[in-house]
């Protein structure tokens, strides 16, 4: 992974299999359908901060069981602009039908979930109910590594900046989904999406104290007190930098796979490479806190 992984304490209640150098860990020995004890939860929270994304294979979960699992990490946050799953207001069902041929898929651009909120979500819990035989992977980037790889001068510059986030590029009247027809989902375009919220360009991870590059293509639209045009060159550089292969974590889904990722320290993208296949995922988001920055040391 990175230098911080070398001194990680061992885990006593489950097995961790690191997927790649940037992070991502398959967890064995945890049944997500059952209540987990305090010691197991403490280790899972530590693993989430250590590895950014946790994967649990071969899980059999009802929506209620997935909700109960996610609630052990904190209160759940409802997702604005998306019609929830009937009977479960906390849950969003992401569906891509076989016959959908449009280039845009849901989650198909690099982003961090709901950074347009005053308190962006802590994490996201995604469960595969139906996966394509080919394709349909999700890729994450480790934004702690992305910050560490910047020059000291760029780090110092970014530490002083704040970024305006907004949902308008996706859910505003002129956004991506305004004229799109995602047949398997109901997306509610709204003027509310035009609102902007300021967050630090570099945030501090509240659990491990590391600095995180907190920008993304979809919701980070400009720097505070600057125009979008003025902001674009630096934001474009930072977003391209974030996608470097050595920061990436890639996961091949199959039905019954469960992923939990740290939304504070990652970006992600749903790869749209499975024409003619159906993909069904159930998503929950865990409420978070307002981002802050505290210099290391």
**What 3-state DSSP class applies to 11?**
coil
Write out the catalytic residue numbers. Answer: 111, 113, 268, 283
Instruction: Please state, in angstroms and rounded to a whole number, the distance separating the CA atoms of residues 206 and 27.
Output: 23
Instruction: Please state, in angstroms and rounded to a whole number, the distance separating the CA atoms of residues 275 and 137.
Output: 13
CB contact at 8 A, 47 and 16: yes
CB contact at 8 A, 187 and 171: yes
Q: CA nearest 265: which of 216, 230, 228?
A: 216
Q: Running DSSP on this structure, what letter comes out for residue 167? A: S
**What 3-state DSSP class applies to 57?**
coil
CB contact at 8 A, 69 and 61: yes
């Amino acid at each position: 992974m990175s230098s911080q992984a070398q001194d990680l304490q061992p885990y006593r209640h489950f097995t961790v299999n690191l997927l790649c150098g940037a992070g991502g860990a398959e967890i064995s020995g945890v049944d997500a359908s059952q209540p987990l004890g305090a010691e197991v939860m403490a280790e899972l929270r530590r693993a989430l901060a250590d590895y950014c994304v946790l994967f649990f294979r071969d899980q059999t979960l009802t929506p209620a069981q997935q909700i109960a699992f996610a609630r052990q990490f904190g209160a759940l946050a409802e997702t604005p602009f998306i019609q929830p799953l009937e009977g479960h207001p906390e849950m969003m069902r992401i569906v891509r039908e076989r016959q959908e041929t449009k280039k845009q898929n849901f989650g198909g651009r690099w982003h961090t979930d709901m950074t347009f909120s005053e308190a962006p979500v802590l994490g996201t819990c995604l469960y595969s109910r139906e996966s394509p035989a080919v394709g349909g992977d999700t890729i994450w980037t480790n934004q702690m590594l992305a910050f560490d790889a910047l020059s000291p001068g760029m780090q110092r510059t970014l530490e002083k900046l704040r970024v305006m986030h907004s949902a308008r590029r996706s859910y505003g009247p002129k956004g991506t989904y305004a004229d799109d027809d995602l047949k398997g989902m109901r997306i509610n375009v709204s003027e509310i999406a035009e609102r902007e919220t300021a967050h630090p360009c570099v945030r501090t991870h509240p659990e491990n104290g590391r600095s995180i590059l907190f920008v993304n293509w979809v919701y980070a639209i400009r720097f505070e007190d600057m125009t979008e045009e003025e902001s674009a060159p630096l934001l474009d550089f930072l977003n391209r930098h974030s996608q470097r292969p050595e920061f990436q974590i890639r996961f091949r889904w199959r039905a019954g796979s469960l992923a939990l990722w740290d939304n504070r320290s990652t970006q992600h993208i749903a790869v749209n490479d499975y024409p003619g296949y159906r993909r069904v995922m159930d998503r929950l988001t865990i409420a978070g806190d307002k981002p802050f920055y505290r210099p290391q040391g």
